[in-house]
Structure 1
Amino acid sequence: MNVKGRSDKTGERLQLTSVVDESEVHGREKDKEDILKMLLEVESSDSPVSVIPIVGMGGVGKTTLTQLVYNDDRLKDVFDLMAWACVSYEFDAFRITKIILEAVFSGSCDYTDLNMLQVKLKESLSKKRFLVVLDDVWNEKYGDWDILRRPFLAGKPGSKIIVTTRHEKVAKIMSRILAYHLNLLSDNHALSLLAQHSLGTKTFDVRPDLREIDSPREWEGVLNSEIWIAEEKSEIIPALKLSYQYLPPELKQCFAYCAIFSKDYEFDKSQVVYLWMAEGFLKQSQEESLMEELGNGYFDELLTRSFFQKSSANTSRFVMHDLINDLAMCVSGYKCLRLDDMLKDNLRYKISEKVRHLSFIPRYYESYDRFSSVNSFQSLRTFLPLSYDNFGLYELSQRVLLNVVPKLYCMRELSLSGYQIYELPSSIGDLRHLRYFNLFGTLLKWLPESVSKLCNLQVLILEDCYRLSKLPARMDKLINLRHLNIADTIQLREMPEGIARLTSLQTLSKLIVSKSSGLKINDLRDFSHLKGEISIKELQHVVNVQEATDARLTNKSSLNKIRLVWSSTFDDSRNEILELDVLDALKPHENLSSLEIMSYGGAKFPSWIGDSSFSMLTTISFRFCKKCSTLPTLGKLPLLKDLSVQGMDHVKAIETEFYGNVCDGESLFPSLENLTFENMSQWEEWHGLAPGAHCAIEIPKLRRFHIRRCPKLVSLPTFRFHH
């Protein structure tokens, strides 16, 4: 389930971002205008809210059309609030209400009681005209709909709810309005749409040669293929099967594995690649690229072939269309089992003891009974909860951890993400084949030492385990570990020195510099494959500049986001000159895109910060660097979009050095969109381009400019903004 909200009319409009564009309404112009007319009408009705059902077969374009309607500017001044929720098979009033409420509030909420959620949503909708989209509804129980709709009755007359569904019965249950039926495109419109996407024109007249690409015999071969013969009780469109049939073998197995994802589940690209890697799908030879690069290529190929598509609610995540999802289930055979489907009357496949991959939607309390049959799947390789949020509200019976999970000896991919787990049994170390272990958001304080026995482990995810304070001492035994994600583990104070021997690491989200026997800054020397982002903390423990030089950050071209953090305590033990030299020695590669420096104790910044060679930098943040009295030269960085300066107590004035040498007519900060100064207790003056100069400072793309808690600031230059 996913959602994208929109603020009220006084704030910034947030559109539902979609992978479709306006060309895809081709042939649907009348449908779009008809639905818009229904939305813009204010009916005289007993109920303040009208439900508009849109009915059509799967894949006909209900969601695409509704997205285009939702984003139409004509709705901009009509509705005070807008929200979108994808419902699918799991019609859960609590979950849907919560997501809509969070869209209205533009943030998360922690209510665990449906009544409280509905009270808050009712208050938010009261006397406001809203538009809510409930996409892909299957539930035919009036009682469930009656519970969900109660808060909507508080809205202002003219409020609307769009419901998309495949079933006429659903439309009749949810609305007294006649359903709007979306029919198939005509042959001419379908051909024109194909031309639009392939040639950018509405016909094939400009490319008559395309008609001769294949011989008639080849087309007849496609036409007469057995793939078009409909299997009994099969609802898979034969054309989709044909698309699968022509996939290379390596892509077929990767796609079939994705049957483990339930409909409308949004997945990360990296998550899918890690799972494929754990299954051994990404074979590499000495000459080939890294497995992850191979997996990224496979993923991109499936994306370009439309087996995957970008999520309309979150463009950093991906989904499979319902029909593609059905295809994945069809081709996976008995290997993939979604536990929730076992309870469905329309189960279309036999449950076999040879099941390899198991997924399920987490419940707020997971009983032992739900998983008691899992041990009968002796060859199970995947145990994957599919959480639709990251709130970590789920409880898991201790019997599952003690009596089910440790007996799955063939397990390769194990996720316990989001569960309120305080301790793992030491028997977890018996899962010797485990390659992917996801403990995101759990309440673990430490991992058992037996985890060090998992010598085949490739991915260990401990992100957001905010109670975690200790890692296994013998982590050096995890010789195949490639990704160690320990981001947002705020209680973790030290890391075992054995991590230095895990030279295959590509992800090391955090390094805590030890004062004694733990990991040191120079241990980064041999991590030649590091990529992505890293936070290096407790840098005040670096007492030798050579140690910082030996970290060789300048050689790590794939490490593009770096956070450098010293202690927030500024006492006599801090050495301003040493810290300047250390920061200078930690110069990263010029591919850097994001730099954050926090609690640095030097009196100035080294010359590499702001140097024009760092032309890829898009984000810079200086936080609580209390000893610095000047800012580096940043005005000429061509791609810098976000700049934040906070808590720099020694800065009294921003001088012309901040801009760099500016030629006549040249813009400063050519790409800067967000600029923030905050908690600058001694800041008094902000000078212009030159002393006494009257020309305004032009920042052409600036959209957000904040100055907060700067009590002594009295002098500002003149700015010229284009927005």
Structure 2
Amino acid sequence: MGNAERTHEIEGRETSSQVDKSAIVGRENDINEILRMLLNETSDVVNEVPIVISIVGMGGLGKTTLAQLAYNNGDVKRHLDIRMWVCVSNDFDVKQIAKSIIESATGSGCESLALSPLQDRLQGILQAKQFLLVPDDVWSNDSEKWDKLRVPFQAGKPGSRIIVTTRMEYVASTMGSSHIHKLLALSDDECWLLFNCRALEHQSAEEHLELEVIGREIVKKCGGVRLAAKKISSALRLRKTTREWEVVLGSEIWNSEGILPALWLSYQDLPPAMKQCFVYCSVFPKDRMIWKDRLVKLWAAQGFIRSEESGEIEEIGGLYSADLLRRLLLQDAELDDYKNIVICKMHDLVHDLAQFVSGSDCSTVEIRKQASSNLNNIRHSFLIFSDEAGEVASIPVTLFKAHKLRTLLRDSRISRVPQNLFHHLRYLRALDLSGARIQKLSRTIGRLKHLRYLDLSYTDIVELPEEVSNCINLQTLRLNRCEKLKKLPRGMRKMISLRHLEIICTFMLMYLPQGIGRLTGLRTLTEFIVGGGDEGCNCRELKYLNHLQGSLRIKGVGKVRSRDEAREAELDKKQHLHALTLKYGYDERLDDDEDVLEILKPHTNLKEFIIRSYKGSKLPKWIEDPVLSNLVKVKLMRCDKCNQLPGLGKLLSLIYLHIHSLKEVRKVGGEFSGDANNDGSGGVVSFPKLETLFFFKMPNWEEWELPEGDGQIMPSLVELRLKSCPKIKALPRNLPPLLQRLSLGISNDGLSLEAPLPIFLNLNHLEIWGNDELTSLPGGWLGQLKALQTLQINNCNWMESLPEELQNLTMLQQLRLASCRVLEERYQDGGEDRDKIANIPSIKIG
């Protein structure tokens, strides 16, 4: 699942396991030493399970970066069955860490359990597996907690490793480290190399010489701390004159102790508006991943992004976050499919700087059973509930005295919100109760006249009180994953300041209140629900919502009552939407489905289009119109009566195509490829940019033909998947030969490896899905896939053997067998046929 498709937030303190290798200077010997410890199995402690390696050093030296390099090393990956990364930080919560390790190992969420069941589950995951675990940024030296956590690790195979990063050597000793690698400061020369490539890369030779003398003196003041050199060099790359560099060198900030002065320069270099935004980031706990979209909306709620600036508030906030990343005041950014920032975080020392500047304004408050500390002067607060607070947690009444409070964020342990909370905190601008175990919200929320941001996502709320409509300054209302929510306030039409209404996965919400179309300032409306009787909306309410951005899902398209109603929605004027989903209900049966859909043509700026559960027999003509030149992703899903695919080959920018459950399609021919795109030499190019093509659950599909001739067909295709297409017997011979990833459903009656198949000389990943009737994979075709690196076989419970020719695939690095009962028994450790696949470096069974 791509980043752009995420529908919920993953909360928690964490660091990323990814690293930019090009930014590493001066750590070559360190990484080689860590890799030697990881890969050397002749050690006298090789039978210890697991072996603990600690990387110890002061903040800013690059401990996490070093662990990231080791974690992502190719030899290490091939050596292991499982890799896990978890950030520990200040609070060594055994249950939370065990839960995070399970989630890292499985790639999916783990429910909150007692410690013993978590230990049992983790032990089952690691049983007889060789693993690598990285607990990053450990502070606690509580040996009792560590002993509880490490119990399941002993189920792993010899050769399993743990890499601990910590600032304190006594922590490394507490964790029973067999090896302690002390990370030293960079030398002045190493520090200069790092500084030089960042600060002087765009300078002429003459300018370089003038600035180098000053730069080397600045580097000496960095004390060999990698982070300091990075921050200052990033700030100085914008300063071109020797005078500007001399001012930095002579600044009084160097007279202070520690690394803070080096970071202070980066802060001082910020424009005034961005300084507020940067300091506000310290409200989040250390090591917390920050969702950029949420952060920008919180900035806007506090008035840090002013409307008089040119451009949309959200656009300006995005530029702010990008600039903070460029200046390295934020880091570890993850991007979506369109290179937009999704999440990021702050380095601990940068967080210290932001906290220092903030003073008492921004604070993380740990709630315990006993009374919390004085909260009177806090303006922006993030509540964390310690283990001492117990399973049932409530917002403390001591917070009532925080009359200056503007931001109240929380962790997910809240189960009760005091009824009179909103009476006391009347100046709140941002309130986040997402994940709280609450079913009802007090009607006194209507008192919060200054409230601009309200997040109730992941709660059990059934109905919002009508008084929410009195929050007329509210800009953001987030109700994602409120799976019991049935009703929104009727008076929402009064909330004219609302810019973002998020209702992703609110499955019980059957209608939107009438008048939603009056909220012409809406930028985000994740779902528009058609219908709902006298209280609900019709499609006409979309007419004036022409500022909508991002994604829009229209649910209940089959309830659009006429072509006139569809026309008045004016989807072709929604120029800022990049993604549109049209969802039909299972009980919707209208005679003019095809005419209505033809009218619901989107703006030509659209990048993604999804249609689900459509009842017509023909898809709209506009879906194959080359005028949709920006369309990069299309999904056609559960269109049961459609018997022919549209000519999507005409779409010049299409990269991703997913066709799912079109049950009436029997043939895919030339009409699918289209004949519209001339390559300039007289030939035709169909699907010129298509990289990924999926066909799933096509039960009656029998033939697939691609046009013959001088033209090019799918010249950019990298990945092809055909699954649950039981009647298709052959692949087109003229599929592009550059294919790298292929997933096929193989059966005795349908597509078979015995049939002539194209030879993909660049294929490096092959996934085969079988059934209980498939007993073998015939030889011949597999042996010609000389570039194959990964082979995965699924759902072949009665397959008895693998082809001998696998031994000739010299590039094959990994074999995976899943739900292949007989094969798993034959090829387990010590099995009689194990020697047949002994040349494959990594074999995963089960």
Shared fold (TM-score greater than 0.5)? yes
Find the counterpart in structure 1 of residue 29 from structure 2: 30
Find the counterpart in structure 1 of residue 723 from structure 2: 707
Match of 1:418 among 435, 449, 458: 435
Match of 2:450 among 424, 433, 444: 433
Find the counterpart in structure 2 of residue 105 from structure 1: 106
CA drift of 1:369 comes to 6.7
Find the counterpart in structure 2 of residue 253 from structure 1: 276
* Inter-partner Cα distance in structure 1 for 2:323 and 2:134: 31
Q: Which amino acid aligns with 1:99?
A: S
Find the counterpart in structure 1 of residue 208 from structure 2: 207
**Residue aligned with 2:533, SS:** coil
Find the counterpart in structure 1 of residue 233 from structure 2: none
Match of 1:477 among 485, 488, 494: 494
**Counterpart mapping for 1:523-672 below 5 A:** 523-569=541-587, 573-575=589-591, 578-661=592-675, 668-672=686-690
Find the counterpart in structure 2 of residue 502 from structure 1: 519
* Inter-partner Cα distance in structure 1 for 2:301 and 2:76: 47
Match of 1:310 among 332, 339, 344: 332
* Inter-partner Cα distance in structure 2 for 1:215 and 1:265: 38
**Residue aligned with 1:169, SS:** helix
Q: Is the Cα contact below 8 Å between 1:687 and 1:715 reproduced in 2?
A: no
Query: Is the aligned partner of 1:490 residue 2:504?
Result: no
Q: Which amino acid aligns with 1:23?
A: S
Q: Is the Cα contact below 8 Å between 1:536 and 1:565 reproduced in 2?
A: yes
**Residue aligned with 1:242, SS:** helix
Find the counterpart in structure 1 of residue 20 from structure 2: 21
Match of 1:301 among 308, 316, 323: 323
TM-score scaled by structure 2?
Answer: 0.76
Q: Which amino acid aligns with 2:72?
A: N
* Inter-partner Cα distance in structure 1 for 2:63 and 2:144: 25
Sort the Cα spacing of 1:57 and 1:562 in 2 relative to 1 into closer, same or farther, 3 A: same
Q: Is the Cα contact below 8 Å between 1:515 and 1:541 reproduced in 2?
A: no
Match of 2:424 among 399, 407, 415: 407
* Inter-partner Cα distance in structure 2 for 1:462 and 1:179: 47
**Residue aligned with 1:526, SS:** coil
Does 194-203 or 441-450 show the bigger shift?
194-203
**Residue aligned with 1:337, SS:** strand
* Inter-partner Cα distance in structure 2 for 1:54 and 1:619: 44
* Inter-partner Cα distance in structure 2 for 1:567 and 1:352: 51
Sort the Cα spacing of 1:707 and 1:216 in 2 relative to 1 into closer, same or farther, 3 A: closer
Find the counterpart in structure 1 of residue 763 from structure 2: none
CA drift of 1:207 comes to 3.4
CA drift of 1:395 comes to 4.5
Deviations 1:537-568 (A, max 9, x none): 11122122122122221121210110001121
Q: Is the Cα contact below 8 Å between 1:629 and 1:650 reproduced in 2?
A: yes
Q: Which amino acid aligns with 2:281?
A: C
Q: Which amino acid aligns with 2:718?
A: L
Q: Is the Cα contact below 8 Å between 1:49 and 1:153 reproduced in 2?
A: yes
Find the counterpart in structure 1 of residue 828 from structure 2: none
**Residue aligned with 2:582, SS:** strand
Q: Is the Cα contact below 8 Å between 2:486 and 2:508 reproduced in 1?
A: yes
Find the counterpart in structure 1 of residue 351 from structure 2: 325
CA drift of 1:679 comes to 2.8
TM-score scaled by structure 1?
Answer: 0.89
Deviations 1:350-379 (A, max 9, x none): 956221111023569565676121011111
Q: Is the Cα contact below 8 Å between 2:55 and 2:163 reproduced in 1?
A: yes
Sort the Cα spacing of 1:17 and 1:581 in 2 relative to 1 into closer, same or farther, 3 A: farther
**Counterpart mapping for 1:162-181 below 5 A:** 162-181=163-182
Deviations 1:325-357 (A, max 9, x none): 00111000111121129999xx9xx95622111
Find the counterpart in structure 2 of residue 396 from structure 1: 415
* Inter-partner Cα distance in structure 2 for 1:313 and 1:179: 35
Deviations 1:625-655 (A, max 9, x none): 1221111111243443332222222222112
Sort the Cα spacing of 1:201 and 1:275 in 2 relative to 1 into closer, same or farther, 3 A: closer
Sort the Cα spacing of 1:44 and 1:694 in 2 relative to 1 into closer, same or farther, 3 A: farther
**Counterpart mapping for 1:211-360 below 5 A:** 211=212, 219-230=245-256, 237-285=260-308, 288-311=310-333, 316-340=342-366, 351=374, 353-360=376-383
Q: Which amino acid aligns with 1:34?
A: E
CA drift of 1:700 comes to 3.9
* Inter-partner Cα distance in structure 2 for 1:596 and 1:163: 45
CA drift of 1:698 comes to 5.4
* Inter-partner Cα distance in structure 2 for 1:493 and 1:363: 38
Find the counterpart in structure 1 of residue 800 from structure 2: none
**Residue aligned with 2:578, SS:** strand
- Flag structure 2 segments of 5+ consecutive residues without an equivalent: 1-14, 215-238, 741-846
CA drift of 1:587 comes to 1.0
Sort the Cα spacing of 1:20 and 1:80 in 2 relative to 1 into closer, same or farther, 3 A: closer
CA drift of 1:429 comes to 1.3
CA drift of 1:666 comes to 6.0
* Inter-partner Cα distance in structure 1 for 2:98 and 2:667: 50
CA drift of 1:227 comes to 2.3
Q: Is the Cα contact below 8 Å between 2:579 and 2:609 reproduced in 1?
A: yes
Find the counterpart in structure 1 of residue 162 from structure 2: 161
Match of 1:384 among 409, 413, 430: 409
CA drift of 1:19 comes to 6.5
Sort the Cα spacing of 1:197 and 1:148 in 2 relative to 1 into closer, same or farther, 3 A: same
* Inter-partner Cα distance in structure 2 for 1:236 and 1:440: 39
Higher RCO (C-alpha under 8 Å, 6+ residues apart) = 1
Q: Which amino acid aligns with 2:550?
A: G
**Residue aligned with 2:596, SS:** helix
CA drift of 1:290 comes to 2.0
Q: Is the Cα contact below 8 Å between 2:515 and 2:541 reproduced in 1?
A: no
**Residue aligned with 1:396, SS:** strand
Does 38-47 or 58-67 show the bigger shift?
38-47
Q: Is the Cα contact below 8 Å between 1:17 and 1:312 reproduced in 2?
A: no
Query: Is the aligned partner of 1:676 residue 2:694?
Result: yes
Q: Which amino acid aligns with 1:713?
A: I
Does 245-254 or 433-442 show the bigger shift?
245-254
* Inter-partner Cα distance in structure 2 for 1:440 and 1:23: 39
Q: Is the Cα contact below 8 Å between 1:19 and 1:311 reproduced in 2?
A: no
Q: Is the Cα contact below 8 Å between 1:338 and 1:358 reproduced in 2?
A: yes
Does 452-461 or 585-594 show the bigger shift?
585-594
* Inter-partner Cα distance in structure 2 for 1:214 and 1:531: 39
Q: Is the Cα contact below 8 Å between 1:513 and 1:537 reproduced in 2?
A: yes
Q: Which amino acid aligns with 2:358?
A: S
**Counterpart mapping for 1:2-81 below 5 A:** 20-42=19-41, 43-45=43-45, 47-81=48-82
Does 670-679 or 258-267 show the bigger shift?
670-679
- Flag structure 1 segments of 5+ consecutive residues without an equivalent: 1-15, 388-393
Q: Is the Cα contact below 8 Å between 2:510 and 2:532 reproduced in 1?
A: no
